[in-house]
């Protein structure tokens, strides 16, 4: 799933490449991905792109008419081409959900792999009318997001810190992968209760949150969409590295599996050497 750094990389690329370009064609190949009907999506045709903006993990392509807002969800991606082929998209026969073409014949496809489709596309007059954007918490890389703000967000939350970091209504933009990386950098168990963290714990976690995301955003900066996924994988220390050696201590990176995802962690760095049981067993090994 693309998270804040990759989404920011896509936004930076789209802003540089598309501002000033006019939309000449929009084709919806998966009608279930389109979540709005007013204004109609063909209202985008003839509009000039004025900006590209990130809201959490949402991409907002602003135009002289409506905003085209999309969330790539778990298996979505954006494929950009300098010259869009004239092939006809056949709904139901392609992973393409949406195709947008511009006045220089460039364009992009929004694609989604797998059978569970959750990519979401909206055409709106204002981005805040998208429910997911309206619910977003503060952006952790915003200038006014400081340690005090972060501490207030954690107060009284009887929730595991992994879940807090992933909750978009609390903090916008962090998902499964970067929450693993942040907790590893902070040397903190994913099962630690947010309300029980000491001031020192919160200091350490805030520093890890800011540095991990800032470094990942910098790594994504300037890369075209085709290179962003590989850049993300290369930057991971524990996420997606089950069975490999922790780059900090050399212990084996372990996984905990859930119904539709997993988390990765280092026992030596994060849990005092304890191995966390598969959550399907609903217990922690003692």
Two tokens, residue 82: 């300098």
CA quadruple 62, 64, 68, 69: dihedral positive or negative? positive
- Quick check: 281 pLDDT over 70? no
Give the residue from 70, 83, 81 showing the smallest Cα distance to 13: 81
Q: pLDDT tens digit string along 231-250?
A: 999 999 999 999 999 999 99
Domains 4-134 and 147-281 share a fold: no
Helix (H) or strand (E) holding 132: helix 131-134
The average confidence (pLDDT) of the chain is 94
Give the residue from 40, 55, 42, 44 showing the smallest Cα distance to 18: 44
- Quick check: 114 pLDDT over 80? no
CA quadruple 272, 274, 277, 278: dihedral positive or negative? positive
**pLDDT computed for residue 283 by the predictor:** 45
**pLDDT computed for residue 115 by the predictor:** 72
- Other beta carbons less than 10 A from residue 168's beta carbon: 17
Q: pLDDT tens digit string along 27-43?
A: 999 999 999 999 999 99
Segment 58-74 shows an average pLDDT of 97
Strand extents, DSSP E, 125-181 = none
CATH fold for the domain made of 4-134? N-terminal domain of MutM-like DNA repair proteins (3.20.190)
| Whether 211 contacts 223, CB under 8 Å | no
> 268-276 long-range contacts, Cβ below 8 Å, gap at least 24?
269/184, 269/187, 270/183, 270/184, 270/187, 270/188, 270/189, 270/190, 271/189, 276/189, 276/190, 276/191
**pLDDT computed for residue 118 by the predictor:** 92
CATH fold for the domain made of 147-281? Helicase, Ruva Protein; domain 3 (1.10.8)
Domains of the chain, residue spans: 4-134, 147-281
| Whether 237 contacts 181, CB under 8 Å | yes
Q: Which residues contact 127 (CB under 8 A, 6 or more apart)?
A: 53, 55, 58, 60, 67, 69, 133
| Whether 66 contacts 43, CB under 8 Å | yes
């Amino acid at each position: 799933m693309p998270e804040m750094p990759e989404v920011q990389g896509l936004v930076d690329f789209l802003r540089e490449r598309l501002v000033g370009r006019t939309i000449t064609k929009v084709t919806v190949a998966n009608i279930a991905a389109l979540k709005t009907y007013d204004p109609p999506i063909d209202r985008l045709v003839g509009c000039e792109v004025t900006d590209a903006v990130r809201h959490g993990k949402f991409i907002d392509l602003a135009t002289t008419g409506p905003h085209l807002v999309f969330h790539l969800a778990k298996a979505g991606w954006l494929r950009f081409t300098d010259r869009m082929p004239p092939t006809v998209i056949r709904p139901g026969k392609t992973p393409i959900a949406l195709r947008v073409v511009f006045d220089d014949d460039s364009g992009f496809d929004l694609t989604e792999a797998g059978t569970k489709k959750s990519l979401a596309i909206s055409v709106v007059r204002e981005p805040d009318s998208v429910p997911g954007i309206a619910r977003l918490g503060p952006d952790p890389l915003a200038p006014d997001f400081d340690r005090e703000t972060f501490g207030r967000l954690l107060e009284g939350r009887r929730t595991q810190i992994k879940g807090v970091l992933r909750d978009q209504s609390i903090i916008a933009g962090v998902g499964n992968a970067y929450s693993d990386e942040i907790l590893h950098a902070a040397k903190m168990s994913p099962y630690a209760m947010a309300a029980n963290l000491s001031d020192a714990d919160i200091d350490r976690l805030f520093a890890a949150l800011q540095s991990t995301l800032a470094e990942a955003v910098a790594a994504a900066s300037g890369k075209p969409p085709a290179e962003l996924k590989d850049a993300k994988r290369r930057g991971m220390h524990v996420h997606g590295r089950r069975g490999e050696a922790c780059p900090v201590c050399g212990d084996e990176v372990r996984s905990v599996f859930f119904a539709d995802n997993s988390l990765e962690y280092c026992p030596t760095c994060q849990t005092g050497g304890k191995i966390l049981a598969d959550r399907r067993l609903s217990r922690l090994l003692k």
